[in-house]
Amino acid sequence: MKVPRFNGLLRRMRADERGVAFIEFAFAAPVLLFATLGGLELANYALTHLKVNQIAMTVADNAGRVTTGIDEANLYEVFAGANVIGESVDFEANGRIVLSSLQDNGRTGNRHGQTINWQRCWGDLPIDPAYGEEGDGRNDASLEQGMGPPGNRIQSIPGTAVMFAEVTYEYQPLISATILPLSGTIRHESAFNVRGRRNNDISNTQDLARLDCS
């Protein structure tokens, strides 16, 4: 009499599906969690790229719009605007802007080329200018091809200037750096022609601290 009862118990256990959903969820939960967190991290990475690119374009554009003559005070305002854009990603602590005034050096013959007439930096990330420093090319053709990566260099025509912005940011993960193998360094560059400015030498009428790149 005990055997039929035992067989009936086994049949009831085989037919019982009350724990199936819980077991399936236990297997699926890690995959679902990884996909959700990875999606959030990827979206944040893409938005950070857009923000860094916006900073590069805004800095070069705003610096090029100063028409009456460029002053250190103008650059404080330009970088203040960049700080507003990058505040949500703590750009000042984790990023660096290098703003260069690229101009024709006015030399002739084999000394003719481009020069970085002045250069200013803002942000705490220790990154050196990628294409030259203030004064480079002033008396020689070391910047004959201008600034920028090979095949995409920017030059300024005589009598004006190009505002060239290099923006670098060390990505700060939203959740964790181990979720996705994302590049830690985000970099964007932008260049805008100066519009209507007659004197491209920088002044310092308020005796402000120079935002040097050293």
User: CA–CA separation, 155 vs 146, rounded Å?
Assistant: 5
Write down the pLDDT at residue 182.
79
Is the pLDDT reported for residue 16 higher than 60?
Answer: no
| C-beta separation of 85 from 157 below 8 A | no
Is the pLDDT reported for residue 168 higher than 60?
Answer: yes
Six-digit token pair at 22?
A: 């819980």
Write down the pLDDT at residue 214.
81
Is the pLDDT reported for residue 58 higher than 70?
Answer: yes
- Over residues 59-72, the mean pLDDT reads 95
Proportion of the chain above pLDDT 90, given as a percent: 71
Write down the pLDDT at residue 207.
97
Cα angle for residues 42, 45, 46 (degrees, 5° grid): 90
- Over residues 168-182, the mean pLDDT reads 83
Write down the pLDDT at residue 146.
96
Write down the pLDDT at residue 1.
47
Confidence of residue 28 (pLDDT cuts 50, 70, 90): low
- pTM, two decimals, is 0.84
Taking each helix axis from N to C end, the angle separating 72-86 and 20-64, rounded to the nearest 10 degrees, works out to 170
What mean pLDDT value characterizes the chain?
A: 89
Write down the pLDDT at residue 110.
96
* Per-residue pLDDT reduced to its tens digit, 69-93: 999 999 999 999 999 999 999 999 9
User: CA–CA separation, 154 vs 164, rounded Å?
Assistant: 8
Q: Which residue has the higher pLDDT, 8 or 83?
A: 83
